[in-house]
Amino acid sequence: MTVNRDLKSDIQATNNLIIQGTKHILSAESWLGHNKNCGIIDYLLLKGESIEGLVQKSGRSKSGVIGHIEHLKNAHGLSISKNNNIFKIEYYSYRLNKSINEEYFKELIETEIPTIKKYSLIKLEKSSKEIMWVSISTKAPNIDNLEVQYLDYEKNFAQSLMNKETGEFVQFGLGFKILSIRKFLSE
C-alpha cells in the first residue's frame, strides 16, 4: 500500500518518463514503487492502453485495473485521460497548472515564437555547422532525433540566449546561430 507519497516527486518522475519516451518493462518495479502487475499497468499507461489491454497484459481483473488507475490519481497525483477508450497518464505542468495531452504537447513543441523566453526550445547551429537543440529551465523530448540539452536559466549560456530572435548570432564559446525558437512551455 502506498502511504505518505511525495506527490510532486511522483509527478516530476512521471513527467520525466513521458518526455524520455521510456518503453514499458513488463517485469520490473515501476518508478512509483509498484511491482508485478501494478508496475506493468504503470508502464502501459505511459503510452496509453485500453482497459482490456491492461487486464490482459497485467493479469489483474477489470475492477483491479480500474482500482489501480484511481490509486494513481489519488495516491500519486497523476492525471489520467481517457480518449477513445484508451487510458493514458498525461504530462502535468505546474507552471501552466494543467495536464497536457500528447496532441497539445506536440503543438507546443512545433509552435514557432519570435523571441527566446524561459521554458522555450531553441534550435542552434554551431560554428562547425552542427545542429543542436536546447531548452531553458525545462526538460524536453528529443526533436528531429536529436537530444534536447537542458540549460539552467541562471547559467551564462542560457542568459546569453534570452530575448534573442531567430537568425541572430550568439557570441558564446565559438558562437551559435539561432535557427528556430519553439514555444514549448514558455508564455
β pairing state of 131-136 and 148-151? parallel
Q: Is there a single domain that holds both residue 11 and residue 70?
A: yes
Q: What is the pTM of this model?
A: 0.75
Q: Is there a single domain that holds both residue 36 and residue 68?
A: yes
Indicate which CATH number applies to the domain containing 34: 1.10.10
**How many domains does one find in the chain?**
2
pLDDT tens digit sequence for 66-90: 999 999 999 999 999 999 999 999 9
The domain in which residue 65 lies consists of 7-100
The single-letter DSSP state of residue 55 is H
Burial class (CB in 10 A: 0-12, 13-18, 19+), 86: middle
Q: Which three cell numbers stand for residue 47?
A: 503510452
pLDDT of 184 strictly over 50:
yes
pLDDT of 146 strictly over 60:
yes
pLDDT band, very low/low/confident/very high, at 2 (cuts 50, 70, 90): low
Q: What is the pLDDT of residue 27?
A: 62
Q: Is there a single domain that holds both residue 93 and residue 156?
A: no
Burial class (CB in 10 A: 0-12, 13-18, 19+), 182: buried
